[in-house]
Chains A and B, each alone.
Chain A
Amino acid sequence: MMLDRSKIGHAFAPFTAEVEKGRLKFFAKAIGETNPIYLDEEIARKAGYRSLPAPPTFTSVLDQESTEFLPVLKLLDIDIATILHGNQEFEYFSTICAGDTIAVECRIVDIFDKKAGALEFVVMQSTYTNQNGQLAARATSTLVVRNP
């Protein structure tokens, strides 16, 4: 079954996510972070950050603050057991830090297939705007759907 190409351009419900210090510390632990800038707020401040910085892939964690887990699955009727992460890209404009409130907007920018439809690809682009209205980061994520 081919994914519904008419959903190219679909914008998911926007939401805001708070960047919590405790969450950053938990994430740092989970990825084995040892750099004290990500673990000790005093050291982060001395290094010029407003508070603990969110590491480079942390915007993907903010994505999960949406009310629904992976809303693309329901929208395109995709079974979670069939998905893989194909590609991920981040562009950075300012560092996100603990205490920030980030507005997350995500839309589908492409859907295509390879191998005669055995693999389908959903490309999503997200923007992360901080409480000052400043674009902090942009992410492009490609989901791979393995069709049986």
Chain B
Amino acid sequence: MIQAEHLSKTYVLKEKSHLFGKRKVRQISAVRDISLEIPKGKITGVLGINGAGKTTTIRMLASLITPTSGSLTMDGVDAVKNHLWVKERINMISGGERNLYWRLTAQENLRYFGSLYGIGKKELEERIGELLKTVGLEEAKDIPVERYSKGMKQRLQIARGLINEPEYLFLDEPTLGLDILIAKEIRELIHSLAKERGKGILLTTHYISEAEELCDYIYVLDQGQIIARGTKEELKEIFKVKPRMVVQEMSLEEVLMKIIKRSRGEGDGKDSACHEGGDHQTAAV
């Protein structure tokens, strides 16, 4: 389990007005006194609006930046001091199209990143083969990443994030800017990583429906502080929200899914619509 206790992060900004001007020092407190846990086999969500401190939190937990105060342990080991040990056991995937070498192919990217983890050649090739299959990029493995679509790049990022078989995975807005079909595929993949392969996953997102679908436990972040925590049921309990029967029109998203599935000849998509639409039927007010 990854355990964070009373983590805070303050950035010190040095500003110069002109070349020989005096430096102004400004302190920005990005995250204040955060305590959270990431157990294995579960998906932990961190929700919040833009600028709430989600990214700083995830980067601190992934040992990319050090906390200004507080303690961070992974399976009982001090994660701040032993960051290289931690880095062997974790990985991070961010949304967007960065973090890959665009002129390299999928296979070349994975080979490079795999080698950085010191994985032997034979094992690495096997792992790359499996991962490409998992994320559905087998056929595109020899095409340079610059010719990939957004969704393909995101799937390759996931493969990259799994190359060292991490025990914990940090996902920073993994479905950012993706269309509904691909976002759904990626959500299913995330779900199976936690439930079937027992990985501890931390997910930040500002798509509330995504969090509701995936997360076992949710932390709500605002202005750098945790303002609420709990399972989704517990969170709803805060305002005593009772389920109520609502007669609701099918949302445009569901309609779109149905249209796409019908044109692809994949049935009428009834099951998925029920699953997707789960949140609409118990809409909290």
The answer on A and B forming one complex is no
Q: Residues of A with Cβ closer than 8 Å to B?
A: none
Q: Residues of B with Cβ closer than 8 Å to A?
A: none
